[in-house]
């Protein structure tokens, strides 16, 4: 069975969601989807978009919590793209560096970005 590392899942999340260069809610996706990605994409060698394509192809088979985590991540990436590019331009993705940068600059982000992050983290109220 394919073992996905934290880094691979974060990279997968980035590729799935949008080209921000970082995954704001990677830990939520990892927590909700990690074993499912292994299950639905067993034998898929990460790289060159293969894992991303597998997840896209098998998206209907993922659990509702996993789908919600992925879709919330999409919303964060879309809402925060410009904010992250502005505040974290030289941060190399991986190892939680982008997430740390985003946390440091949260107060500087646009209202839509901050709301997307809060919604992704805590859900709608």
Q: Is the pLDDT of residue 43 over 80?
A: yes
Distance, in Å, from the CA atom of 92 to the CA atom of 116, rounded to the nearest integer, reads 23
pLDDT (tens digit per residue) in 50-107: 887 888 899 999 999 988 888 888 888 889 999 999 999 999 877 778 888 999 999 9
Tokens linked to 15: 């590729």
pTM of the model: 0.64
Distance, in Å, from the CA atom of 121 to the CA atom of 31, rounded to the nearest integer, reads 12
- 59, 67 contact by CB (below 8 A): yes
């Amino acid at each position: 069975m394919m073992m996905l590392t934290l880094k691979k899942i974060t990279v997968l999340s980035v590729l799935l969601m949008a080209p921000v260069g970082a995954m704001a809610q990677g830990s939520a996706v990892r927590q909700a989807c990690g074993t499912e990605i292994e299950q639905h994409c067993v034998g898929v060698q990460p790289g060159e978009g293969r894992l991303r394509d597998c997840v896209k192809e098998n998206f209907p088979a993922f659990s509702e919590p996993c789908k919600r985590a992925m879709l919330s991540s999409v919303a964060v990436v879309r809402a925060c793209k410009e904010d992250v590019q502005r505040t974290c331009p030289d941060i190399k993705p991986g190892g939680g560096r982008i997430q740390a940068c985003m946390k440091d600059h949260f107060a500087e982000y646009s209202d839509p970005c901050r709301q997307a992050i809060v919604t992704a983290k805590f859900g709608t109220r």
